[in-house]
Amino acid sequence: MRRGNEIRSWVLVIGVLLIVGISAFSVIYIVSQSARQAQQAVQPVNAMTSNLATQVARVLNPTPTVLPDPVTIIHGVRDLARLETISYTIEKVITAETGQGPFGFLFGDRLLLIAHGQVLAGVDLAKLIPDDLSVRDGVLYVTLPETEIFITALDNQKSYIYDRDTGVLTHGDVNLETAARQAAEAEIEKAALEDGILEKARVNAENYLYQLLRELGYPEVIFTIPEPTP
């Protein structure tokens, strides 16, 4: 009789433990489902908040839109025979200002441009004529056209406005930066000329053509200096 009571007690304990385990599992499952549903419910709100933040960022920091005209007008096409023999890369600091004076703090405009530019020089072989070549006693005499500057241009990716100061009653001169860039190109070309870019271009052209003419079968090549253009 006592043994039967013990067996019933153990069966009751095991049954209680099973009920408690099943209840705990049900609670955990319900909680996890509720959390998942809550997360799913919050996702649209998070997405809307993210989209709103993106739209606000676009308004505060707009991306420039460039719309090139589909119509292209070609004004001219011509053949070139330019032998580029030297390239200069120059940096210049340009200060441009307007409206300075006693009332400059009201109406003045001043900017500082850091300009990077390139100057290309060489010889235009299209200007070479038959009279510029002659052979005497097996020697080839060559008179090259005068060296010239082909291109002077600013590098827009490296050139930038370092500083700009405008008066309290003005929005600035819209043409001031353009004038500064034009002055920068002129100063860059002037610096290259002062450093002797044309003479270096002539020496490089002669060295290059000397090797080329020797390979064409002329054992000796002499370059003569052209008469200056009046």
Q: CA-CA distance, 199 to 218, in Å (whole number)?
A: 25
More confident: 106 or 129: 129
Phi-psi region of 29 (alpha: psi -120 to 50; beta: other; left: phi over 0): alpha
**CB-hemisphere CA count at 13 Å for 188?**
29
Mean pLDDT for the stretch of residues 184-195: 95
- In DSSP terms, 163 is beta-bridged to 112
Mean pLDDT for the stretch of residues 203-215: 92
pLDDT reading at 27 higher than 70: no
Q: CA-CA distance, 92 to 95, in Å (whole number)?
A: 10
More confident: 108 or 87: 87
Ordered by start, the domain boundaries in the chain are 1-61, 82-224
The tokens for 47 are: 């997405």
* Other CB atoms within 10 A of residue 101 CB: 9
pTM for the predicted model, two decimal places: 0.66
pLDDT in tens, 60-93: 566 666 777 776 777 667 656 789 999 999 999 9
pLDDT in tens, 121-166: 999 998 988 888 888 888 999 999 999 999 999 999 999 999 989 8
106 pLDDT tier (thresholds 50, 70, 90):
confident
More confident: 168 or 211: 211
pLDDT reading at 200 higher than 60: yes
Contacts (Cβ under 8 Å, ≥6 apart) of 1? none
DSSP state of 125: G
